């Protein structure tokens, strides 16, 4: 049995070295060092478990239990890195240290189980180099602090990443996409900004996570007022430079960012990720893709969209109600109509409201929103990023439209175009199938994180 364990440990050892190299490459791209160590430690612990079972020791090796306990503590701290605990302890780095301990304990146990195999000793050297890299790369480059802001009855909670050293530092605020979005989704970018000596705010959208009150589906003006409330809450801090503020909006957040810039004197640069130009066109485009994804033809999707446009024209003008109702009655029983109902593209005849209905008024106001009208009032630098596999927005046309508008207005600008990326710059295994949906795994396109964060940091530094 000992010989079998030694042979299997050599094979698993080389596979594990390859895995560590892959994790290291991934870390160099996205920079979550503590994720690298936690992942490595978990992988080694899994191998340790397998070999322990293969040896038939029934987990009598004390190192196994020690590694398991330390790994569990690492995970506990890691999942709490964006909570209030971050204002008391540097949880990300505690998680890193604990995971590193689990990794080392697992390695020592594997060396003992394999009878001192050179493979595991070699892996130990690789691990030591990785851990040194973790420490050198950024241990303590910034601190995390739990912060809060109030917008009337809305209580907002977030985490502020503040560079170490002498401030004040420029500030970047990340603005959410549509729906219930927590703050941690922007962590890779906030981490990179903090390492560039830019303070970064991650926060839970209203009605989401630790933020209380309101709904994440409230209108753009209300959502923009939350970001303004954050600026007001943070601008008097001695470690924040209120004259150098960056706004980073993704998807819906790209519509909200220019609205915030109008109300914030210190807004110095915008990053707009997957922005739609006109809300109504984005709405039609996304729902058309959802119908095609359900198996209906281009002609059927276009017929549904054309009817939706006529309904909206009725809401705007109060003319043509009977024609709209007749059109809806005429398509009863069509299979594509049932799908249009499910995805929210069309109503039933009795669901057609009147133009003076408050919800209808709010709906049409959203439909008529255009990014260019608010962006035209911003004269500072703008970066816009588009993925041409986007199933939410017509990205290629959007990129050309924004580039032309910013050129005409004289803004310093940069337009990033990624052929393989979908909505919010995700590259899926087989392409984006619907708005923000595809087959995992997914990643950011090559160079995207570096290009966006470096561009913004260079425009916010004094």
pLDDT at 205 over 90: yes
Pick from 367, 385, 418: which residue ends a domain? 367
Q: Which two three-digit tokens encode residue 391?
A: 């199933």
* pLDDT score, position 32: 44
Contact between residue 453 and residue 192 where contact means Cβ atoms under 8 Å apart: yes
Residue with tokens 């791209």: 29
In terms of residue numbers, what domain contains 95?
A: 2-138
Span 364-398, pLDDT tens digits = 988 898 999 888 889 999 999 999 999 889 999 99
* pLDDT score, position 244: 96
Domain match, 114 and 39 both: yes
Domain match, 386 and 247 both: yes
Domain match, 172 and 249 both: yes
* pLDDT score, position 266: 92
* Crossing angle of helices 335-342 and 298-317, rounded to 10°: 60
Domain match, 321 and 381 both: no
Domain match, 259 and 401 both: yes
Please report which confidence band the pLDDT of residue 19 belongs to, taking 50, 70 and 90 as the band edges. very low
How many CB atoms within 10 Å of residue 122? Answer: 13
Domain match, 11 and 133 both: yes
* pLDDT score, position 63: 65
Q: Tell me which residue of 403, 456, 449 sits closest to 424, measured CA to CA.
A: 449
Span 23-78, pLDDT tens digits = 444 443 333 444 555 555 555 556 655 555 555 544 455 766 676 677 667 666 66
Pick from 107, 138, 169: which residue ends a domain? 138
Q: How many domains does the chain have?
A: 3
Domain match, 262 and 402 both: yes
Pick from 338, 367, 396: which residue ends a domain? 367
Domain match, 260 and 404 both: yes
Domain match, 256 and 375 both: yes
Neighbour-count burial of 325, counting CB atoms closer than 10 A to its CB (0-12 exposed, 13-18 middle, 19+ buried): middle
- Global pTM exceeds 0.75: no
Domain match, 204 and 59 both: no
């Amino acid at each position: 049995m000992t010989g079998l364990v030694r042979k299997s440990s050599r094979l698993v050892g080389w596979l594990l070295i390859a895995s560590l190299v892959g994790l290291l490459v991934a870390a160099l791209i996205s920079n979550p060092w503590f994720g690298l160590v936690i992942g490595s430690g978990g992988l080694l612990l899994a191998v340790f478990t397998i070999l322990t079972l293969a040896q038939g020791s029934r987990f009598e090796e004390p190192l196994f239990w020690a590694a398991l306990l330390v790994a569990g503590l690492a995970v506990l701290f890691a999942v709490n890195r964006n909570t209030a605990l971050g204002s008391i302890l540097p949880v990300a780095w505690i998680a890193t240290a604990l995971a590193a301990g689990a990794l080392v304990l697992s390695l020592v146990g594997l060396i003992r189980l394999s009878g001192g195999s050179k493979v595991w000793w070699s892996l130990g050297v690789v691990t030591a180099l990785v851990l040194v890299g973790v420490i050198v790369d950024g241990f303590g480059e910034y601190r995390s602090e739990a912060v809060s802001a109030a917008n009337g009855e809305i209580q907002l909670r977030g985490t502020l990443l503040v560079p170490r050293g002498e401030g004040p530092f420029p500030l970047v605020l990340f603005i959410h996409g549509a729906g219930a979005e927590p703050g941690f989704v922007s962590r890779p970018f906030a981490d990179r900004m903090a390492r560039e000596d830019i303070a970064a705010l991650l926060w839970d959208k209203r009605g989401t996570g630790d933020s209380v009150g309101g709904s994440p589906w409230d209108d753009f003006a209300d959502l923009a007022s939350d970001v303004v409330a954050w600026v007001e809450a943070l601008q008097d801090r001695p470690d924040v430079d209120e004259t150098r503020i960056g706004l980073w909006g993704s998807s819906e957040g790209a519509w909200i960012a220019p609205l915030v810039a109008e109300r914030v004197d210190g807004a110095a640069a915008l990053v707009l990720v997957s922005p739609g130009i006109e809300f109504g066109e984005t709405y039609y485009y996304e729902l058309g893709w959802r119908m095609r994804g359900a198996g209906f033809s281009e002609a059927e999707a276009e017929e549904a969209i054309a009817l939706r446009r006529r309904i909206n024209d009725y809401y705007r003008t109060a003319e043509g109600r009977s024609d709209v109702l007749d059109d809806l009655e005429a398509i009863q029983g069509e299979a594509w109509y049932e799908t249009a109902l499910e995805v929210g593209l069309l109503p039933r005849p009795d669901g057609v409201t009147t133009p003076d209905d408050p919800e209808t008024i709010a709906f049409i106001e959203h439909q008529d929103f255009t990014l260019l009208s608010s962006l035209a009032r911003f004269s500072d630098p703008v970066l816009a990023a588009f993925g041409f596999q986007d199933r939410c927005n017509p990205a290629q046309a959007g990129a050309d439209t924004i580039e032309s508008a910013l050129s005409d207005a004289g803004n310093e600008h940069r337009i990033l175009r990624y052929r393989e990326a979908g909505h919010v710059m995700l590259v899926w295994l087989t392409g984006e199938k619907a708005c923000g949906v595809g087959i995992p795994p997914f990643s950011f396109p090559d160079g995207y994180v570096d290009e966006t964060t470096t561009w913004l940091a260079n425009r916010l530094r004094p």
